[in-house]
Amino acid sequence: MPAPLLIPNLGAEEGPGGRGPRVEPRLRTLANLWKALFDPPPAFPWLELGPGGAWAWLNTPAAAAQAREAGLRLLGAEPDCVKRVHDKAFAQALARREGWLPAGLEEAFAVLAPELLSRPEPALAELQRLLDAAPPGPFGSFTLKPRFGSSGRGRVAIRLRRADTREVRGSLARLAARGGAVLEPWLPRTLDLSCALLVSDDGRVTLLGTLVQVASPAGGVHGHRGTVDSRGRVTSGTLYDEPLRESAAAAASAAAAAGYRGPCGVDAFAFRSRGGEVLRPLVELNGRFTAGTVVLALLRRQRREIAHRLQLTPGDRAHFLLALHAPEGGWPSAEPPESFFRGFEEAGPLGPGLFVSRRPELLDALSAGLLRGARPAAGAD
């Protein structure tokens, strides 16, 4: 029986020209952390490869072919199904159907087919029509996002509701090659959130945990925060946990109904509006492993040590930051029983690590330092 296989094809949705682990240090770090999850015993029982099995970060036709050539079965959903649910248009259609688009802004969202974008003049005319028809609001900018992409890469800004600019015109062929685009208003984000889930072989949805993403203004994710209890259960620790769980479970169930199986993730964010802070509970569904999956698995591996070092008892919760690189000034010294640190030197030279503390203000400072110490390239979602 052939040996099991791991295919760390991070960034594969961006196509051959996209950033991957070979060129992006943080993606390389994340790929190494992901591969370590499968070391026996696996962090979650369902990560067990077993003889003849292969896991890919994202199930693509190329990954399926690589598994076949090795005489292995690619675990999870078929690539055609993955492509359907991983398409940002899938999440946007579900959000529209469930009434999860921001109230009053529903008509500011649109999906553009690659066939349209491949014809510049009709594409620009349709874009301008959509911008003119969008309701007035506190936003002056829009964004075109590739329907297949990650970490905000490939996004194009549209300012002053003007479609025919050099930037937009020059992006149309690239967006067409990425499966089309979605048009959205640029909303002033105040909090980035994610939820990691698993769709079992029988279609049952299991919620693995919710997280806060430590993201740059451009959307690159550099780390994750949340709270963890004595048994290793993880939540974002925000007031949006319940609506996030509800929308994420509904999105994963819709993906399951479409045939999807395997790990997946839902992204959400809160933004400022005239009436205060508002949650957009479903931004996109990632039909693959996510950085959130990795974070939750690493925390699960450390749960007993965390509970011991911080003397957590039933009902206690501690705050954590898991980052793909060290914050500005480096990681602070851990002080048991107030804090705990675990470095992941084997994952790469950027200084990835996990810091857990009973003091949330310490995590606030570390998160700010994480973004100050970030390199210009986008992070990983």
CATH code assigned at 155: 3.30.1490
| pLDDT tens by residue, 134-181 | 887 666 799 999 999 877 788 999 998 999 999 999 999 999 999 999
Q: How confident is the model at residue 57 (pLDDT cuts 50, 70, 90)?
A: very high
Are residues 56 and 142 located together in one domain of the fold? no
Checking if the pLDDT of 118 tops 50, the result is yes
Are residues 213 and 317 located together in one domain of the fold? yes
Q: Which of 185, 219, 246 is the last residue of a domain?
A: 185
Residue 270, domain member (yes or no): yes
| pLDDT tens by residue, 124-133 | 999 999 999 9
Are residues 179 and 196 located together in one domain of the fold? no
pLDDT reported for residue 22: 67
Checking if the pLDDT of 20 tops 90, the result is no
Are residues 335 and 236 located together in one domain of the fold? yes
CB proximity list for 360: less than 8 A, separation 6 or greater: 319
pLDDT reported for residue 379: 47
pLDDT reported for residue 139: 66
Residue 379, domain member (yes or no): no
Checking if the pLDDT of 47 tops 80, the result is yes
How many of the other CB atoms lie within 10 Å of CB of 162? 12
Q: Which of 36, 51, 85 is the last residue of a domain?
A: 85
Checking if the pLDDT of 240 tops 60, the result is yes
| pLDDT tens by residue, 309-350 | 999 999 999 999 999 999 999 999 999 999 999 999 999 999
Q: Name beta bridge partners: 322.
A: 224, 354
Q: Which of 151, 185, 219 is the last residue of a domain?
A: 185
pLDDT reported for residue 1: 53
- Segment 40-47 shows an average pLDDT of 92
Question: Where in 166-301 does DSSP place strands (E)?
Answer: 181-185, 189-199, 205-215, 221-229, 234-235, 262-273, 276-286
Q: In angstroms, rounded to a whole number, what is the distance separating the alpha carbons of residues 362 and 322?
A: 13
User: Which is more confident, 220 or 45?
Assistant: 45
Residue 229, domain member (yes or no): yes
Domain range for 24: 5-85
Are residues 107 and 217 located together in one domain of the fold? no
Are residues 138 and 211 located together in one domain of the fold? no
pLDDT reported for residue 217: 82
Residue 211, domain member (yes or no): yes
pLDDT reported for residue 381: 65
CATH code assigned at 335: 3.30.470
Residue 314, domain member (yes or no): yes
For residue 265, the SS3 value is strand
pLDDT reported for residue 60: 97
Residue 282, domain member (yes or no): yes
| pLDDT tens by residue, 257-295 | 999 999 999 999 999 988 899 999 999 999 999 999 999
Are residues 52 and 135 located together in one domain of the fold? no
- Segment 218-233 shows an average pLDDT of 93
| pLDDT tens by residue, 91-111 | 999 999 999 999 888 999 999
Q: How confident is the model at residue 378 (pLDDT cuts 50, 70, 90)?
A: very low
Q: With 0-12 CB in 10 A as exposed, 13-18 as middle and 19+ as buried, what is 372?
A: exposed
Is residue 377 a contact partner of residue 19, using CB atoms and an 8 Å limit?
A: yes
Mean pLDDT for the chain? Answer: 93
* Count of domains for the chain: 3
The rounded percent of the chain whose pLDDT value lies above 90 is 83
Are residues 136 and 221 located together in one domain of the fold? no
Residue 319, domain member (yes or no): yes
Is residue 3 a contact partner of residue 54, using CB atoms and an 8 Å limit?
A: no
pLDDT reported for residue 19: 67
Residue 72, domain member (yes or no): yes
Q: With 0-12 CB in 10 A as exposed, 13-18 as middle and 19+ as buried, what is 202?
A: exposed
Are residues 232 and 325 located together in one domain of the fold? yes
pLDDT reported for residue 125: 98
Are residues 29 and 131 located together in one domain of the fold? no
Are residues 177 and 145 located together in one domain of the fold? yes
Are residues 278 and 200 located together in one domain of the fold? yes
Checking if the pLDDT of 80 tops 80, the result is yes
